[in-house]
Amino acid sequence: MKQVEKIWAELSAKQVELSEEQKVELALTDRVVAMADKLRASENVMNKRLDSIFVPIREIEKAVSNLQSPSDLQDTFKTYMSNLDDLERAYQEALQNIKDVENDLGVSIPMPSELNNVVKLLQRFQDAEQQMRREINEYSQAYKKFK
């Protein structure tokens, strides 16, 4: 044990003097390591910035992937149109029945208030149909643009 202490004491007493070449080498190495650390930190900041800047793009991509095909609207719109056609036909049949009764009886029958209300409803539903067509076309164009 004494021998270890003796060797340690000798080593501690000796100071090693580095040559100028070794000092320059160490200084260069320190500079390179510091620059690499600085670049590593800059890389981390840039990667975080890239991740954050892509968030809206990823959200858009997700939204685009969730877009429904315009053809998904066809069945619903066909049902609406069929119901509208049924109402228009029923209205026309009611008018025709009134005319037939008027012709059979030879008298004028006043238009029932329910039929006047149906006229207003038909106009509203026909306007809604036109609006739906515009919106379906608008959606279809946007769908084509994004898909």
Last residue of a domain, one of 11, 41, 63: 63
Residue listed under structure tokens 């090693």: 16
| Same domain, yes or no: 55 and 94 | no
Q: Taking the chain (147 residues) in consecutive chunks of 10 residues, what is each chunk's mean pLDDT?
A: 63 58 63 89 96 95 93 95 97 94 90 92 97 96 91
Q: What pLDDT, on the 0 to 100 scale, is given for residue 92?
A: 96
| Same domain, yes or no: 59 and 73 | no
Number of structural domains the chain divides into = 2
Last residue of a domain, one of 63, 87, 116: 63
Helices (H), 66-107: 74-105
Q: What pLDDT, on the 0 to 100 scale, is given for residue 34?
A: 87
| Same domain, yes or no: 78 and 109 | yes
Q: What pLDDT, on the 0 to 100 scale, is given for residue 20?
A: 58
Q: What pLDDT, on the 0 to 100 scale, is given for residue 3?
A: 67
| Same domain, yes or no: 83 and 42 | no
| Same domain, yes or no: 54 and 76 | no
Q: What pLDDT, on the 0 to 100 scale, is given for residue 29?
A: 78
- The residue range of the domain holding 35 is 2-63
Q: What pLDDT, on the 0 to 100 scale, is given for residue 69?
A: 93
